[in-house]
Amino acid sequence: MKVWKTLLLVYRELDVCLPVRRDSVEPAKNYGSAERRPTKKTRKRFHHVAGEREIMDALDSFAGFPKLVSELTDGRAGIEYEIVRPDHALTSLTRESPSRFWPSPDDIRSDLDDFAPLGKYESIFVCWPQRDLKNGTAVPCDAWGLAMGASEWTNAATYAAIANAPSSAWRNEARGEVWLHEWLHGVCDHFARRGHTMPERDADGGELHGYVRSPTCGWCAYYRDLMSRSVLENGRRLGIPLSAWS
């Protein structure tokens, strides 16, 4: 069985100032319509502190992640994990696109090097308070979770960042599914580099390949096939062979 040593870093507090775009619209002088002036950027402070309920929801979901990995690989892969809750705020985010941000490895570099030096873990997760669930503010971000394959930038571990969310979001899927989904992006990259062909869009390819999301198990039927080289694409079975997990 392949055991993936995994670290989860949980940040309770976020305190950043970010350049946020604002569109300015004013009436056109002659036609009574609106004309759009060039987008302006202003710096906005986001100070979010996750409540203990939010953190416990995330940790409860994360606790289901190892079981999913074991079940979907028929026991050929396992997760051993540690959880660290830094006692300081996350004070930096990286621009992912012109108006979207996320906690990249650079934003947690000191914690990454202290807690997850090169070679200590195969996978790293970051849980961060993107949203203030009480007042509704949120850092602009492309998705609930974002992930990448292992590289020197990530201290040779797969890397994923997952935001806080309402309790209902964690319950609207298989327990641990969001962690599995983001982890699979990095894992698919790992096995693709070793010569195994992945289906188009790897972990995001369920609907594209004809799968239907279950109201109780989410996309786990697709993930099972992805993790056992059983996704049919153009007459070929693609994904991670079960033998590769050993």
Structural domain boundaries of the chain?
2-21+41-195
Q: Alpha carbon of 9 to those of 59, 103, 104, 151, 199: distances in Å?
A: 11, 11, 13, 18, 30
* pLDDT score for 22: 62
DSSP state of 54: H
* pLDDT score for 29: 35
Distance CA 177, CA 173 (A): 6
pLDDT tens string 78-102: 999 999 999 999 999 999 988 899 9
* pLDDT score for 39: 55
Distance CA 93, CA 100 (A): 10
Residue 126, beta-bridge partner list: 9, 161
Residue 228 DSSP SS3: coil
Residue 170 DSSP SS3: helix
Which residues of the chain have a pLDDT value below 70? 22-40
Contacts of 115 (CB under 8 A, 6+ apart): 7, 9, 84
| CATH class of the region 2-21+41-195 | alpha beta
* 206's tokens: 């369920």
